[in-house]
Structure 1
Amino acid sequence: MSDRTVDRVAEATPERVARKIRGLSDRAIAWIFISPTIFLLLAINIFPLIWTIQLSFTNYKANRIGREVKDVGLRNYERILTDSDTWLNMQATAHFLFWTIFFQVLIGFTLAWLINKKFKGNDLWTTIIVLPMMLSPAVVGNFWKFLYQPQIGLFNYIVSWFTGKDPSSFEMLGSVTLAPWAIVIVDTWMWTPFVMLICLAGLRSIPDYIYEAAEIDRASKLRQFFTITIPMVLPFLMLAVLFRGIENFKMFDLVVQLTGGGPGSVTELTSINLKREAFEKWRTGYASAYAIILFVTVFGLASIYVKALNKVKQR
């Protein structure tokens, strides 16, 4: 801001307001500026969380406003933790988390390492690779659902070309065995570019003089990769795992677009089950307890993971 602009603002400020401002400390002025943001965060984040915790101890149902709300104590939590379906959903979520993160990190890091070589057409290929993550999950879900169709799906013809079997015999989304892997493939295709960009930032943050010093010491390319590249990119890899783990734990839209939560419970992730309890069965108190359990699980695991990440950064 120029001096002339400052002078104009000072002249336009009423004398009474100006005297009050002059009497405030820098800390008080800072609080005046950030207080609206703090209030907004409290209204959007803290209040719903406190209200959800309160509802989790009741039998409240959102579709029955006039019904008497009774305090049920820890009954909702007990029912959730002793329900076998809950643990099946957790198992399906864990399967989805592990394999999507594994493939996204593996493929994402490989692509980042190749792009970092700065070959001809580097920028063009980077743009093409990043395109999937720019699309809406609803669009991606419908697009891949078409590719998985038994009769006309392109994916089935590709698989049949490798296996020599009839394309109509592959029921990716209708098979209990193949449906989870169909979702893993789609999520990996969509979000591998995100991991690639984080890894690429890590690779390009490594100073060239470190590799030059290693070459002077006659270190092989393989040794440079495992003693320089991997250790220095590891914090970025761990950060990518953290982001994708949190996002995939609450994955909902893409799975619903592809399978609708079926077949059976193999693709019934915790987020989908939570949605059904809250907005199909209208068991709001029960769903609130479910949400609190998921929140504590994610928050606890993320806290442990962040501590490990900080230790890696300090090395």
Structure 2
Amino acid sequence: MSDTPIDRVAKATPPTVAAKIRGLSDRTIAWLFVAPTIFLLLAVNIFPLIWTINLSFTNFRANRPNRDVEYIGLRNYERILTDGDIWLTMQATAHFLFWTIVLQVLIGFTLAWLINRKFKGNDLWTTLIVLPMMLSPAVVGNFWTFLYQPQIGLFNYGVSFFTGVDPASFQMIGDVALAPWAIVIVDTWMWTPFVMLICLAGLRSIPDYIYEAAEIDRASKWRQFWTITVPMVLPFLMLAVLFRGIENFKMFDLVVQLTGGGPGSVTELTSINLKREAFEKWRTGYASAYAIVLFVTVFGLASIYVKALNKVKER
């Protein structure tokens, strides 16, 4: 007679409980297994969202918990939509999003196309290229802060070598015009490998016989690239853009490590501004409304983008 763990559990189960379990349908058993996960998701995600929505209609301040909470309706939302400083942070965020996504897509796709050619040392170069995305944003921020130092930064000496500018007078982080580009460069360096891997998966999913058929029809390499490679990799590219767009909209730690949100407001993204409102000015109700506005913005844009992505996949 077998004595497996399942048999021991069956023996230890009281007869009344075993009878009830045998009487359950497969659908009910499935719901019993899924229920703890659903409850956890509700507790971790849905309840904080509902609580934030509730706070957004109040003047609640977390540093004054004993103060009477007053419901002020849509006043917080009105202040947000008419606040010029918030629109400036939106512009800074849009600038950061646009250039990081453009550079990461162009460089990532180019690297994926080169690696897909399977040259000698392919695996080694792939591993080296992927290394930056394995690092912590805090480590990356400190590393690049050192590179950007006016006196000893290797980045400054590289610029000086090509342009002849004195490295001591060249400030990448402290300059109002160059600080946003400093963040764009670091984020591109760190997350281009992620886009590359997604593009590489798309390139390797294209069957070889499609290219063979195109060669039989005497299609040039350039023609094959635009009529076969780009259309078939486009869904993967769009997926990479979606992931990076959502993540960069929430960018916080890397920017703080590099610039601290300065100089001025040129690098103060929406996430940093939200943090200031919530944990420096302690305008919790106002910050909650701000968070809801950002959530609706990201959710709405992502929904429209996903519909476009699905249409591309159906072609």
- Counterpart in the other structure of 1:308: 308
Q: Cα distance, 1:5 vs. partner?
A: 5.2
Distance 2:21 2:190 in 1: 52
- Counterpart in the other structure of 2:211: 211
Match status 1:52 vs 2:55: no
- Counterpart in the other structure of 1:32: 32
- Counterpart in the other structure of 1:135: 135
Q: Classify 1:208/1:5 alpha carbon distance in 2 versus 1 (closer, same or farther; 3 Å).
A: farther
- Counterpart in the other structure of 1:41: 41
Q: Cα distance, 1:118 vs. partner?
A: 0.5
Distance 2:292 2:199 in 1: 33
Q: Cα distance, 1:4 vs. partner?
A: 5.3
Percent identity between the two aligned chains: 87
Where 1:262 maps in the other structure, the secondary structure is coil
Match status 1:257 vs 2:257: yes
Where do 5+ consecutive residues of structure 1 fail to align?
A: none
Q: Classify 1:3/1:299 alpha carbon distance in 2 versus 1 (closer, same or farther; 3 Å).
A: farther
Where 1:236 maps in the other structure, the secondary structure is helix
- Counterpart in the other structure of 1:13: 13
Amino acid at match of 1:85: D
| Superposition RMSD in Å | 1.2
1:229-268 equivalence runs, <5 A = 229-268=229-268
Q: Classify 1:3/1:241 alpha carbon distance in 2 versus 1 (closer, same or farther; 3 Å).
A: farther
Amino acid at match of 1:220: S
Distance 1:3 1:107 in 2: 59
Q: Classify 1:236/1:3 alpha carbon distance in 2 versus 1 (closer, same or farther; 3 Å).
A: farther
- Counterpart in the other structure of 1:273: 273
Amino acid at match of 1:301: L
In the comparison of the two structures, how many residue pairs are matched? Answer: 314
TM-score (structure 2 length as normaliser): 0.98
Q: Cα distance, 1:14 vs. partner?
A: 2.1
Amino acid at match of 1:172: M
Where 2:108 maps in the other structure, the secondary structure is helix
Match status 1:144 vs 2:144: yes
Match status 1:62 vs 2:62: yes
Q: Cα distance, 1:6 vs. partner?
A: 4.3
Q: Cα distance, 1:7 vs. partner?
A: 4.0
Match status 1:107 vs 2:91: no
- Counterpart in the other structure of 2:154: 154
- Counterpart in the other structure of 1:119: 119
Where 1:218 maps in the other structure, the secondary structure is coil
Distance 1:313 1:18 in 2: 48
Q: Cα distance, 1:310 vs. partner?
A: 0.2
Amino acid at match of 1:51: W
Where 1:176 maps in the other structure, the secondary structure is coil
Distance 1:114 1:280 in 2: 47
Q: Cα distance, 1:225 vs. partner?
A: 0.4
